[in-house]
Amino acid sequence: MSGILEGRVAIITGAGGGLGAAHARVFVAEGCSVVVNDINQKAAQAVVDEITSAGGKAVVNRSDITNYDDSLNAVKQAIDSFGDLHIVVNNAGINRDRMFASMTEQEWDAIMAVHLKGHFCISSHAVHYWRGQSKEGKPVDARIINTTSGAGLQGSIGQSNYAAAKA
Which of 68, 149, 156, 160 is labelled catalytic?
149
Which of 63, 129, 160, 166 is labelled catalytic?
166
149 is catalytic: yes
Show Cβ contacts of residue 118 under 8 Å, excluding neighbours closer than 6 positions: 13, 65, 66, 71, 90, 92
162 is catalytic: yes
76 is catalytic: no
Amino acid found at 71: S
Where does 17-122 show beta strands of DSSP type E? Answer: 33-37, 58-61, 87-90
CB-CB neighbours of 145 under 10 Å = 13
Catalytic residues: 149, 162, 166
